[in-house]
Amino acid sequence: MSIRKRKVILGSVIFLIFLGIFATTIAQSPHDSMFTYARLFTDIAFRINARYVEKLDPKDLVYSGIRGMINTLDPFTEFLETKDYDRLMEATKGKYSGLGMTIFQKDGWITVVSPMEGTPAYRMGLRSGDRIIKIDGKSTKGISTEEASKLMRGEAGTKVKLTIQREGLAEPLEYELERAVIEIKTVPYYGFAEDKVGYIRFARFGTESENELENAIAELKNKGMTSLILDIRSNGGGLLTQAVKTSNLFLKKGDEIVSTKGRISDQNRTYEAKEEPLLPDIPMVVLVDGNSASASEILSGAIQDWDRGVIIGNETFGKGLVQQIYPLSNKTALKLTTAKWYMPSGRCIQKESRFHRWNSDSLANGITPPSEGDTSKTVSDSTKIIYYTKGGRIVYGGGGVKPDIEVERKDLSTLMLNLERLSMFFDFAVHYTTEHPDIPEDFKVTDEMVAQFRQFLKEKDFTYKNEIEMELSKMEKVAEKQGKTDELQPLFDQIYSQIEKMKEDEFSESLDEIKRSIKRDILTKLYGEKALYEQLVLKTDPYVKRALEVLRNKKEYASILKG
């Protein structure tokens, strides 16, 4: 053997030995032991698939394993299957191809809640309350709203046939609609709450949020707006980039809006306002509630930290986490929490109770879920970490964005909950407007209309149980089991009589809410979303009323921002 060949062989052996030592070191390193466990996971999956007593679907097997991993993480990390991924992309882009209406399932049938203005459904005259009984000849009886949506959506320019059953008409109506690209507005309404006080309803964050918000502000400015109410209640958030860009419409160039910090260095970033603001100084109120989350909290928190406006409403949701979307194979994706975000004051508003997934593992580790109805105020202000706005006002971390002015949030009564749950206001609006199609937009809900609503409830056999009645039902079962029914029946009858009186009182106590809900659904049915805001929200909403009070009182507005 030549010397050259010996050198090559020796070099190869040395390389293999070095590779073996390197591989062993890698395998033993805690940082890279993931490969060992991944091999274990794969080994188990293959053995189960090959030898389990019954035939399995490999997809179900692997997906369940993925969900098991996800369940050990925070509740905002998700494995997105195809339909979930598509829905997320649709919500982010704010566009889809279809007919343009909101639907729900009512009495086993797909029913139109409302068509969106300017869409094929709106132009063809579909109405709130229309029952879609067939889609392209296929009955909708018992199908889900998701399946119905899938049947009605499709490539723009293609057509779909709907068979509609409408109250007051004996025969079904046949419609042929051409699908179109539907844009989901992030700003569904803007106008004036009163003279020169602008109002913008900012409902969601998407790719067009900055443009829509900018257009609304520009139009209101051109019409003489001197102060603004920005309503982001129940805005569940969205794109971080849009949170930054929309905040820049109100904050000065160079102002820090938010920073992110993660385990990996590429997640550590600071976002600043890049442009001069569109509204640098006019008085401003931001309306928030417990469903204002994520990007909404970045926007409201940044405005609060820079003392740019007054925050009114309820403590926000408390989501200070950043997710990134990683597209995977088979049209799936991983939405993974990669960082926390921090406001200009340095506070992170993430609530600890929002960081855990409530399952058997978390309970075993002593982590308990918040109780029903809990707003996650688990820590008093006195024990929270204090931060300061740019003007020196105190704000707190770890508990959502706390408003400068709290508005009492009224919980729905048992009666109202059941009326809403069973869509009684919606059904009455459909019924009433069939008989009274010419109600003016500025109508008032009269005592006569309320009486008709009560009669409608009787005809619909509307019943509900309050908490006392539910507990009494349990007692009756115990009495029956112990053979004491006859003995206790007079007492039960007496209590039931009192319960009926209580229900009458509950109806009277809820009268204002009942009238408001009747008006809401009739307005939506006849005149659409614009009328709903102008005739109801801007005139009667307690949050808007409080905002107007603050904006009218310049001294109060200034004193709040001075702290």
**Catalytic residue ranges:** 294, 305, 319
User: What is the DSSP pairing of strand 256-262 with strand 333-342?
Assistant: antiparallel
Backbone angles phi, psi at 113, to 5 degrees: -80, -50
Distance in angstroms (rounded) separating the CA atoms of residues 174 and 165: 9
CB contact at 8 A, 93 and 207: yes
Cβ neighbour number for residue 54 with a 10 Å cutoff: 4
The helix (run of H) or strand (run of E) holding residue 387 is strand 386-388
Q: Which of 514, 479, 509 is nearest to 493 (CA)?
A: 479
CA distances to 11, 35, 38, 69 from 41, rounded to whole Å, are 36, 10, 5, 11
Torsion over CA of 308, 309, 311 and 312, rounded to 10 degrees?
Answer: 180
Structure tokens at 521: 């659904």
Distance in angstroms (rounded) separating the CA atoms of residues 346 and 307: 15
CB contact at 8 A, 316 and 343: no
Which residues are 97's β-sheet partners?
A: 181
Q: Sign of dihedral through CA atoms 103, 105, 110, 113?
A: negative
Residue 425 neighbours by CB under 8 Å, 6+ apart: 419, 517, 518, 520, 521
Cβ neighbour number for residue 26 with a 10 Å cutoff: 13
CA distances to 162, 193, 273, 300 from 278, rounded to whole Å, are 45, 20, 12, 17
Distance in angstroms (rounded) separating the CA atoms of residues 445 and 506: 19
Structure tokens at 354: 């929002």
> Residue 405: exposed, middle, or buried by beta-carbon count in 10 A (0-12, 13-18, 19+)?
middle
Structure tokens at 265: 């260095």
Structure tokens at 234: 């129940």
DSSP state letter for 266:
G
> Residue 555: exposed, middle, or buried by beta-carbon count in 10 A (0-12, 13-18, 19+)?
exposed
Which residues are 139's β-sheet partners?
A: 134
Distance in angstroms (rounded) separating the CA atoms of residues 285 and 403: 11
Residue 447 neighbours by CB under 8 Å, 6+ apart: none
The helix (run of H) or strand (run of E) holding residue 112 is strand 109-115
Question: Rounded to the nearest 10 degrees, what angle do helices 414-421 and 424-435 cross at?
Answer: 60
